[in-house]
Amino acid sequence: MDRTFVAIKPDAVQRGFIGQIIERFERKGFKIVGLKMLKPTRELAEKHYEEHIGRDYFERLVAFMISGPVIAMVVEGKNAVSVVRRMVGSTKPHEAEVGTIRFDFAQVKEMNIIHGSDSIENAKREIDVFFREDELVDWHHDLELWLYEK
């Protein structure tokens, strides 16, 4: 099973979409193994977006991420990184596929509701940025019997 990192961004929190977004991952059959609400510090946001340091939009990314509370999640399941990315949709909501989270809830790229890791390597790094190992819970999900072949 793969794990990936998801952040429900401040705009989604402020607009009351937390439950609807989490429900989509649960409906898909993903197991949530880490979940918390926090207001990121500048240091945390900069570390999260470190691959964008030096780009003209870096400061806007950081400022947006620290503008309010976020929900940090670790979800687990087969092909979690790629499936979550498809569920999230294009960074530009107007280019996102119908039915994706960004298509359904976002209107502009700068306030695009959600972040999902784009690779297994970045998922590991981002999980480590937001969670200590003891904050992740390994548990058996009986639904796996009905989702995956053995």
3-state DSSP: the chain helix, strand, coil percent, rounded to 5? 45, 20, 35
Known catalytic residues are 115
State the pLDDT at residue 145.
Answer: 82
State the pLDDT at residue 77.
Answer: 96
Domain-wise residue ranges, the chain: 2-136
> Do residues 3 and 123 make contact, with C-beta atoms less than 8 angstroms apart?
yes
CATH 3.30.70.141 fits 2-136, yes or no: yes
pLDDT in tens, 61-117: 999 999 999 999 999 999 999 999 999 999 999 999 999 999 999 999 989 999 999
Q: What is the rounded CA–CA span in Å between residue 42 and residue 8? A: 17
Q: How far apart are the first and last CA of the chain?
A: 12
The tokens for 90 are 């294009």
% of residues, the chain, pLDDT over 70: 99
Q: What is the rounded CA–CA span in Å between residue 96 and residue 6? A: 17
pLDDT in tens, 3-62: 999 999 999 999 999 999 999 999 999 999 999 999 999 999 999 999 999 999 999 999
For 133, counting Cβ atoms within 10 Å of its Cβ (0-12 exposed, 13-18 middle, 19+ buried), the class is: exposed
State the pLDDT at residue 149.
Answer: 77
Task: For tokens 């809830």, name the residue.
Answer: 105
Higher pLDDT, 140 or 95: 95
State the pLDDT at residue 7.
Answer: 98
